[in-house]
Amino acid sequence: MLSNAARLLMVSAAASLALGAAPAEACQDIADEALALAAAQTPLASGASLLTLIQKNIWGVNNTDLSLLWGSSSPSSAVYYDNAVDLIDVPGTDPGDDFTPVSSVADIAPGDVLVIDATGTYSGHTAIVTGLPQQITAINPKIGTYTQWALPIVDSTTSVHGCSTIYPDDRFTASAPGSCTGTFRGGVGTAFMRIYADATTGALTGHTWSVTSGGTFYAQSGTTYPVRSFVIARVQSCPLL
């Protein structure tokens, strides 16, 4: 029985394309393509469609291939999330072949995929990590002893990732220097999200949409804070560091 990795290699071979230049470069290829799409201001409806387009552009897959790999020709963030945490897997393939979750903030690298799960009132979100997380001095909301990190990403959204001048969203144009009012261009662009991690283990514990004080903290689980579980994962062809 073929794993997803084997199937993806077959898909790539059929398209006369390699799966990235080499395993060590595969994740950087994902980040580079995301940045190129951001620079082109590519109009896309969602972060999930961005990840899907990246696969088509760098691996030459088509909708039939995507259905084989993910069980859908247009996977949603919920589908990507469920594959990333092995809640589901494409029927007939081995579990865990789609993504490898990154367990510590110290292991996050360019080309990793951040996927927020859907809830009853939220459709989820997908973003591409484009650089290493940067630890910041904790700002509100401060949650216990959790460390805070600014994570550079590319995504496609209609909701601005805050108005920070240090950690900006390149789709936002302030009406005046330092102002949080202005105009926002939807679609693919660069931005930052904030992730929280356990100070001892580095385990990911929550996130906010932007690196700005007062943003809503979403926990991975529990009842104290609103929950929007997320995972940062590596496409199977990319090596864990």
DSSP 96-145: T-SEEE--SGGG--TT-EEEEPP-SS---EEEEE-S--EEE---SSP-TT
The closest alpha carbon to 70, from 55, 83, 53, belongs to 83
pLDDT, one tens digit for every residue, the chain (241 residues): 334 444 444 344 333 222 333 344 668 999 999 999 999 999 999 999 999 999 999 988 899 988 888 888 999 999 999 888 877 655 555 554 578 889 899 999 999 999 999 999 999 999 999 999 999 999 999 999 999 999 999 999 999 999 999 999 999 999 998 889 999 999 999 999 999 999 999 999 999 999 999 889 999 999 999 999 999 999 877 766 5
- What pLDDT does 108 receive? 95
- What pLDDT does 191 receive? 98
Q: Which domain holds residue 97?
A: 1-241
- What element of type H or E holds 28? helix 26-39
Task: Count structural domains, the chain.
Answer: 1
- What pLDDT does 240 receive? 63
- What pLDDT does 54 receive? 95
- What pLDDT does 147 receive? 98
- DSSP string spanning 50-92? HHHHHHHHHH---HHHHHHHHSSSS--HHHHHHHHTTSS--TT
